[in-house]
Every structure is written in C-alpha cells, then in structure tokens.
C-alpha cells in the first residue's frame, strides 16, 4: 500500500504530467487551448469585480502572473488530494482527473473563437496524467506494486533470496545507508518509525490484508522515486519546450517585417520645454517598453497581419472589410495621445503618452455610413474582448485612430499588434481595443461591452487628474528650494491650471510646461521653499472648461477615481 506522502506526491506528478504534456499539443491548437491558460481565462472573465480590483491593486500589472501562480498552487493542492484519494480507491483519483479534464475542455471550448481541436490539450494531458496516477498508485511504478507485494513475504524464491541476503546486514543498515555518500542515489529506507507512526502505517496497510516485506520497500521505492524524477523532468521538458515552440509561432517576426508608411500628416513636433527632464518625473513621451499594459489576455494574442481583416459592419449601409495592406495604403496621420486606464488610482501610473500612427476612424465610419440610432461602435478583438465607444465621439473630428504605429515602431504585440484603437479623451476600457478585428455599429441600448455587465459605466470620459511625481511620498528632501513637479491630464479638454498647496495652506499656481495638444498630459512644476519637518503636498488641476478636480475621493469603479493626489515628505 502506498504511503500518504507518496500518494500525494503521485497526485502532484500526475498533474505536472497532465499540464506539461498539454503544452506541446497546444503548440498545434494555439496557446489559449492549454488547460492552465484556458481555465485562467475563464477565471479572469468570471472573478467578481472587487477581487479583480484587489488583484490589480496588489499585483499591479503582474496580476496575470499572480493569477497563474495562484492557480498552479491551488491545482497542486487538489492534485495531492486526488493522489490521496487514488491511494484508497484508484477510480476516485481517476474520476478527479476526468473532472479536471472536463473543466479544461469546457474552458478551452468556450473561449471566443475556439474550435473542437482546442479540447485536445486537456484531453491528452488528462489521459497521460491519469496513466501516471495509475502507474504510481497501482501500476508498475508503485512503491509497493500490487503484483509483487501482494504476495506474502517469503513466498517467491527470489524474494526469499533477498530477505536472506539482507538479513545479515543487521539492524543498523538504515544508518549505514544514510551515512554512506556513495549510496546517494541508492535506496534509502527511513529509520524504523516511532511506535505511534508504526501503528498508523500498520493501520494503512491492513485493508489489503497483508504485510509488506520491509526489505522489499527500498527496491520499489527506488523505482517510484526514479519514476517521479523522470516523469517530472519529462513533463517539464515537454511543458517548457512546448511553451518555447508556441512562442516561436508568435508574430514577432511578422512584426519586424512590417514597414510603416510615412504619415500624410505628421505629428506636430514636441515643443521645447514640454519635457522638464527631471529625475523621477514621468517623461513627456512614454517609451514603449515602459508603457503600462492592461488587458484581460493571459496569453498575448498573436495576430498575423497577413490574415488580419477588419470588418466594419452591423447597422451600416455600407459594410467594409479591410486587409492590413488596405489599411496601410490609406493616408496615415500621426498624433500624440495620452492613454489612461479607468483603474488608475489617484497618483497611479496606469497612464502613458505615445505618438500613434494610424487611420482616422471617422473616415472609415463615414464610408460605412452608420444608420441613425447606431449610437455605439463596438470594437471587438480577436480574443473576444469588446469595448463600446459613442459613435458621436468617433465622428466629432477628434483624432480617433485605428493605430498601427507607436512611437515610430509597429505596435508592440502587447499593445495590440497589428491594429488597435486609440481615442483621445476616453478611458481605454471604452475605446482602446487592442488586436481589433471588428467595428460593429449598434446601440448602447442593444449591447453591453465587456466591462459594463461587470459594473463599470458604459460611458468613460477621462476625468481631470494631476499627480505629484517629485518629491516622492515619504522621501526626505533637503530644506531650501525644492522643485515639486508632476503631470496633469484632461484629454481632449486640456489642462488650464495646476495648483499646489502645502499643509492645507493657500493654493499656489504651478507653471505648466507646453504640450503638443489638449490630447496629451502636461508636465507642471512649482518651486517650494521647504522648511524642516513633515509636510503634506497636494495638487489639483482645472480643465479648460474651468472645472476643478473635486477633493472628494471616489474609487476607480464605476467610471474613474477622483480626489487630490497627496504626498507626505519629511524635510531634513
């Protein structure tokens, strides 16, 4: 009979085999069909909003890794329990694996755009995982294989021989084993258990109605442990290799092959002085690799520009379908636009400014000719994610783009390659569809985009905000003149004024750096004569319409945080 520790280990190894062997299969069927990713994707779509907020708050943009690691740990726990169950009744363990297979298959098949082949990784993985569990618990790799050990000790001639051979080694054999360096890989039996444990072991062993020959255990245990090592190693190789292969099937090569056309209308140059270039102050233009990333995709969608198509359809008189080349052939405009996430807390960094190259969405919509009443344009991504943008906003003349370029490069894959939406003045969740393949004209009454049923507002204009970047909270600037600086934004309206105050004193007007347009954030600075002691700095911005940020703190849900960014420093 297999011990509890071994049974739990067998369960975990079976799970590792299941997940590892599913990976190479997923190379053929697509990374989203791998069980962990498929189930993780469902979890992302299903977890209650507060939990997701918590995850973003705690793990920031590492929330996905946290989710996968958490899922893996949870799975390991379940697998150990399944191993224990299997030791009592194998069918129970196998049924547990089958249940996980059903979960994996269901998750993979319900992902947007899935086909029947997506069931394969879970099925193959579960099959091999089940086989592994059987082999360890009741099959040839069992630390106490049924075939051999269900015989009474001393029954067979070879067994008797072993018993005899070992009998002479005396009671100290175990200690010899443990002390002998040369025996590193050799069977190790633990010292005789204390009486209580022995009783427990005995109890575990009784249901079979037999007593194992103690001297046989090292033989079969060695086989068991070797099996554990070999199968774990093989599953790891299969898993990592499959993962690596899947990565090679990605679109980074296709991305590198893209040559962006020159813009018909280049972006206005960044005015001198727009970037104060202060340490710790966010640069006016955010480099691509530092640009925040927020999306629901557990694996970054790999969209081949050769097969990419954009359909503009729904309530339009002229449905349009465009290829990537069609898009690139159109006159491109280039614009600086600051993108912000609705989940950005006061003082947070889920915001960035980039130079985007793309085709005005307005021109495409004008050609498609929306019907009256089609007040919502639903951007739909390859991964099924959707956002709903007011048709009026997309047609009011602002630089809403179907973007292909970001800061002079094709869009990074994480940021939506080959094509995404960028709409000045709206939070990303209602406007910035990455990996976009459809623009569907509908109405707000008829369709709720991804985040709306999850408690977020259907309308998401960016709220006026300001942030202190320097000095940092809890820093210790020296007494004397201190440059207080940060960024402020009110995309498409523009920032009129930024004010700073110290310790609830009078508001002082900060100096605004120039900006390219009202669609980007602006840097501000204010010279503070800092006196020793603890001080609280606060900032607030007023937009071009004269509206000042409210002091009242409101949470990010349902339509963006409000409140004044406040930092406390100790002047030395």
Report the interface residues with ligand MTE, using CB under 6 A.
291-297, 339, 341, 381, 383, 385, 415, 428-429, 432-435
136 binds, among Mo ion, ligand MTE, none (CB under 5 to 8 A by kind): none
Query: DSSP letter string over 247-313?
Result: HHTSSHHHHHT--PPPPSBPPPPPPTTS----TTSPPSSPPGGGS----S-SS-----TTT-EEEEE
Q: Rounded CA gap, 269 and 67, in Å?
A: 42
Which CB atom, from 364 or from 432, has the smaller least distance to ligand MTE? 432
- Cβ proximity of 252 and 318 under 8 Å: no
385 binds, among ligand MTE, Mo ion, none (CB under 5 to 8 A by kind): ligand MTE
Shortest CB 397 distance to ligand MTE, Å: 23
Residue 388 contacts Mo ion per CB under 5 A: no
Identified binder of Mo ion from the candidate list 134, 417, 429, 435, rule CB under 5 A: 429
Shortest CB 63 distance to ligand MTE, Å: 12
Shortest CB 460 distance to ligand MTE, Å: 9
Identified binder of Mo ion from the candidate list 42, 281, 294, 530, rule CB under 5 A: 294
Q: Which of 470, 450, 462 has the alpha carbon at shortest distance from 423? A: 462
Under DSSP, the state recorded for 194 is: P
Sheet of 522-530, strand order: 465-470, 480-489, 522-530, 511-512
* 3-state helix, strand and coil shares in percent for the chain, rounded to the nearest 5: 40, 20, 40
Shortest CB 45 distance to ligand MTE, Å: 10
Which CB atom, from 296 or from 566, has the smaller least distance to Mo ion? 296
Sheet of 508-509, strand order: 508-509, 495-502, 533-543, 565-571
296 binds, among ligand MTE, Mo ion, none (CB under 5 to 8 A by kind): ligand MTE
In 124-183, which ranges are E strands? none
Q: Rounded CA gap, 481 and 483, in Å?
A: 7
Q: Which of residues 340-379 bind Mo ion (CB under 5 A)?
A: 341
Residues 6+ apart with CB under 8 A from 506: none
- Cβ proximity of 457 and 448 under 8 Å: no
Which CB atom, from 37 or from 294, has the smaller least distance to Mo ion? 294
Phi, psi of 550 (to 5 degrees): -75, 150
Shortest CB 350 distance to ligand MTE, Å: 7
Identified binder of Mo ion from the candidate list 428, 460, 471, 560, rule CB under 5 A: 428
Which CB atom, from 254 or from 432, has the smaller least distance to ligand MTE? 432
- Cβ proximity of 455 and 558 under 8 Å: yes
Residue 56 contacts Mo ion per CB under 5 A: no
Which CB atom, from 84 or from 449, has the smaller least distance to ligand MTE? 449
Shortest CB 339 distance to ligand MTE, Å: 6
Shortest CB 145 distance to Mo ion, Å: 56
Which CB atom, from 8 or from 341, has the smaller least distance to ligand MTE? 341
Alpha-carbon torsion angle 78, 83, 87, 90, nearest 10: 90
Shortest CB 54 distance to Mo ion, Å: 16
Q: Tell me the window of 54-62, 389-397, 428-436, 526-534 that interacts with Mo ion (CB under 5 A).
A: 428-436
Q: Tell me the window of 87-95, 229-237, 287-295, 548-556 that interacts with Mo ion (CB under 5 A).
A: 287-295
Residues at the site binding Mo ion, with contacts judged by CB under 5 A:
294, 341, 428-429
């Amino acid at each position: 009979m297999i011990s509890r520790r071994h049974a739990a280990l067998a369960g975990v190894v079976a799970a590792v085999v299941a997940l590892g062997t599913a990976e190479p299969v997923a190379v053929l069927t697509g990374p989203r069909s791998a069980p962990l990713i498929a189930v993780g994707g469902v979890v992302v779509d299903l977890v209650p909003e507060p939990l997701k907020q918590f995850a973003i708050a705690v793990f920031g943009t590492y929330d996905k890794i946290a989710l996968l690691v958490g899922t893996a740990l949870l799975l390991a726990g379940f697998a150990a329990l399944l191993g224990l169950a299997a030791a009592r009744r194998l069918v129970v363990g196998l049924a547990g694996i089958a249940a996980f297979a059903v979960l994996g298959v269901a998750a993979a098949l319900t992902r947007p755009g899935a086909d029947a082949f997506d069931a394969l990784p879970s099925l193959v993985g579960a099959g091999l995982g089940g086989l592994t569990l059987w082999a360890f618990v009741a099959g040839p790799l069992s630390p106490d294989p049924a075939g051999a050990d269900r015989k009474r000790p001393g029954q067979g001639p070879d067994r008797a021989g072993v018993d005899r051979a070992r009998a002479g080694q005396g009671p100290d054999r175990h200690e010899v084993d443990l002390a002998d360096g040369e025996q590193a890989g050799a069977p190790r039996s633990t010292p005789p258990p204390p009486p209580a444990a022995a009783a427990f072991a005995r109890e575990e062993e009784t249901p079979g109605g037999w007593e194992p020959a103690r001297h046989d255990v090292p033989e079969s245990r060695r086989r068991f442990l070797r099996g554990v090592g070999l199968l774990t190693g093989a599953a790891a190789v299969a898993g990592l290799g499959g993962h690596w292969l899947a990565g090679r099937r990605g679109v980074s090569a296709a991305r590198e092959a893209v040559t962006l056309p020159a813009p018909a209308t280049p972006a206005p140059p960044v005015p001198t002085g727009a970037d104060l270039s202060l340490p710790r102050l966010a640069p006016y233009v955010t480099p691509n690799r530092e640009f925040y990333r927020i999306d629901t995709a557990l694996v970054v969608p790999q969209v081949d520009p050769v097969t990419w198509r954009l359909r503009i359809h729904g309530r339009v008189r002229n449905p349009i379908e465009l290829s990537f080349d069609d898009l690139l052939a159109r006159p491109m405009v280039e614009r600086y636009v600051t993108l912000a996430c609705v989940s950005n807390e006061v003082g947070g960094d889920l915001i960035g400014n980039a130079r985007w190259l793309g085709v005005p969405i307005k021109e495409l919509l004008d050609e498609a000719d929306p019907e009256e009443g089609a007040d919502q344009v639903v951007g739909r991504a390859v991964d099924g994610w959707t956002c709903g943008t007011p048709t009026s906003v997309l047609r009011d003349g602002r630089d809403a783009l179907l973007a292909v370029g970001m800061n002079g490069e094709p869009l990074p894959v994480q940021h939506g390659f080959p094509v995404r939406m960028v709409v000045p003045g709206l939070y990303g969740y209602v406007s910035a569809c990455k990996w976009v393949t459809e623009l569907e004209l509908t109405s707000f009454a008829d369709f709720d985009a991804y985040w709306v049923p999850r408690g977020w507002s259907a309308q998401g204009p960016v709220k006026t905000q300001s942030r202190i970047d320097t000095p940092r909270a809890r820093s210790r600037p020296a007494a004397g003149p201190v440059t207080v600086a940060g960024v402020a934004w009110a995309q498409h309206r523009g920032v009129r004024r930024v004010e700073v105050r110290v310790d609830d004193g009078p508001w002082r007007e900060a100096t605004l750096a120039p900006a390219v347009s009202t669609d980007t954030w602006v840097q501000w600075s204010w010279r503070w004569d800092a006196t020793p002691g603890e001080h609280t700095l606060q900032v607030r911005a007023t937009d071009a319409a004269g509206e000042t940020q409210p002091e009242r703190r409101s949470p990010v849900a349902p339509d963006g945080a409000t409140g004044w960014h406040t930092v406390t420093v100790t002047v030395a």
